[in-house]
């Protein structure tokens, strides 16, 4: 199982594409705790929120970074925080889609997070019940078609983040 720097190296070594499926309502990320508390308190977010440097470090090299977040409204506090950061990721070049299971059911997706790099290696993510990252297992090559299928299903059913956000704002005014 990859953790820490070993897992982080994957983002330095992939050549073309990185896709992530996110499925949790809460991620317990130690480095985000103070920022999350600030968000809940209504404090301004740091400047990197406007153009995520981590995403930019990949996209400025011509690499494609994308994700689909499968969630269910109403949003948890953590999801409101995470979605508030997405515009800076998009500015940095990430493509983000949303599947809100409260709006429509989508079948054929796993109940866990994964990363797919260069359409050639898949890593299943493992988290505690509280959303803390445990590690990632590289899946055998024999499962690549399965995870490519999950990616394709997610992308086919996802709404672009900007559209999701606009619809969400319009619905909140009613």
What confidence tens digit (pLDDT) does each residue in 22-61 have? 999 999 999 999 999 999 999 999 988 999 999 999 999 9
Q: How confident is the model at residue 171 (pLDDT cuts 50, 70, 90)?
A: confident
Question: What is residue 174's predicted lDDT score, i.e. its pLDDT?
Answer: 39
pLDDT of residue 170 exceeding 80, the answer is no
The fraction of the chain above a pLDDT of 90, given in percent, is 93
Topology at the third CATH level for domain 4-173: Endonuclease; Chain A (3.30.870)
pTM for the complete prediction?
0.94
Q: Residues near 77 by Cβ (< 8 Å), separated by ≥ 6?
A: 40
* pLDDT for 95: 98
Q: Where exactly are the structural domains of the chain?
A: 4-173
Q: What is the pLDDT of residue 24?
A: 96
| 138: pLDDT strictly greater than 90 | yes
What is the Cα–Cα distance from 11 to 2, expressed in whole angstroms? 13
Using pLDDT thresholds of 50, 70 and 90, give the confidence band for residue 172: low
pLDDT score for 168 = 81
Helices (H), the chain: 4-13, 33-40, 53-59, 77-91, 144-157, 161-173
| C-beta separation of 81 from 36 below 8 A | yes
């Amino acid at each position: 199982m990859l953790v820490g720097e070993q897992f982080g190296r994957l983002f330095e070594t992939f050549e073309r594409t990185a896709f992530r499926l996110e499925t949790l309502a809460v991620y317990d990320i130690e480095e985000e705790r103070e920022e999350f508390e600030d968000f809940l308190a209504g404090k301004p977010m740091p400047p990197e929120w406007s153009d995520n440097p981590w995403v930019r470090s990949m996209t400025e090299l011509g690499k494609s970074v994308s994700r689909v977040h499968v969630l269910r409204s109403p949003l948890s506090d953590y999801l409101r925080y995470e979605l508030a950061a997405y515009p800076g990721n998009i500015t940095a070049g990430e493509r983000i889609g949303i599947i809100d299971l409260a709006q429509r059911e989508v079948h054929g997706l796993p109940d866990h997070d994964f990363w797919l790099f260069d359409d050639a290696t898949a890593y299943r993510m493992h988290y505690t019940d509280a959303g803390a990252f445990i590690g990632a297992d590289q899946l055998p090559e024999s499962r690549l078609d399965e995870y490519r299928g999950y990616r394709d299903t997610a992308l086919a059913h996802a709404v672009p983040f900007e559209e999701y956000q606009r619809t969400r704002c319009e619905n909140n005014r009613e």
